[in-house]
Amino acid sequence: MLAAILLFVGTLLLSLWAQWRVKSVYNRYLQVPARSGVTGAQAAARILHESGIHDVEIVPHDEMLGDHYDPTNKRLVLSNANYYGNSLSSLGVAAHEAGHAIQHKVAYAPLHWRMAAVGVTNFASQIVMWLPLIGMFTGILSAYTGAMIMGLAWGVIMLFNLVTLPVEFDASRRAKLVLADMGMVEGSDEGKGVSRVLRAAAWTYVAAFITSLAYLLWHIAPLLFGRNNDE
């Protein structure tokens, strides 16, 4: 029981730290305007245009740090602060999401693997959320069967998070290069600011991977070594 509590608290603290880190760095550089004066929406539009992408819609929305690229609908969504703002944070986030659109165009393999795995990963997430409660209140599953199902579900989530890492790192790499090449970020000081924003954001994906790996190992350990997690 103590080990389970330590696992829960440890992964929770890691996730909270990663979220605090990205918000802290993002908010810091949200106050630093780029000398180019280019807004996030303009930066994304220019990057897409230069990359020969003309069928992706760029839209604003109200959720802070809910920026994403939707490959199904070919829509690049930016928070209002990033869409209208010309800060280093705005440019970094906008260019990062445009990097995903470029990945989509060039058929970047990890992106397509992640897209293909969304459905099964969502199903696995429901399993890890509800199966422990079902097993606790009904007792219909043996400890071995429950551990096996949970291990499989966490394995799917872990693989999804693992594939996500190169997708996100590659998009950030593309973002930093294109912002400098197109003159939207000037000088080493602005380049370092954008890098810090993107590096902080990457920690949320690293934290998610570490968490899923830890829970996978927790559930498969009894299957491999014949131990009981409650010991």
d(CA 88, CA 99): 16
Predicted TM-score of the model (pTM):
0.89
How far is C-alpha 126 from the chain's CA centre?
Answer: 19
Q: Is residue 132 helix, strand or coil?
A: helix
Q: Which of 57, 97, 168, 186 is catalytic?
A: 97
Domain ranges of the chain: 2-225
Contact 198, 176 (CB under 8 A): yes
* Confidence (pLDDT) at 227: 54
How far is C-alpha 15 from the chain's CA centre?
Answer: 12
The residues that bridge with 77 in the sheet, in sequence order, are 59, 68
C-beta contacts of 220-229 below 8 A and 24+ residues apart: 220/147, 220/151, 220/155, 222/143, 222/144, 222/147, 223/144, 223/147, 223/148, 223/151, 228/143, 229/3, 229/4, 229/147
d(CA 105, CA 70): 13
* Confidence (pLDDT) at 231: 45
Residue 51, C-beta contacts closer than 8 angstroms, at least 6 positions apart = 98, 101, 102, 105
Identity of residue 45: A
Contact 75, 84 (CB under 8 A): no
Q: Structure tokens of 117?
A: 């795995």
Q: In which residue ranges of the chain is pLDDT below 50?
A: 229-231
Whether 97 is catalytic is yes
* Confidence (pLDDT) at 137: 62
* Confidence (pLDDT) at 230: 46
Helix and strand totals (H; E) in the chain: 7, 3
Contact 131, 149 (CB under 8 A): yes
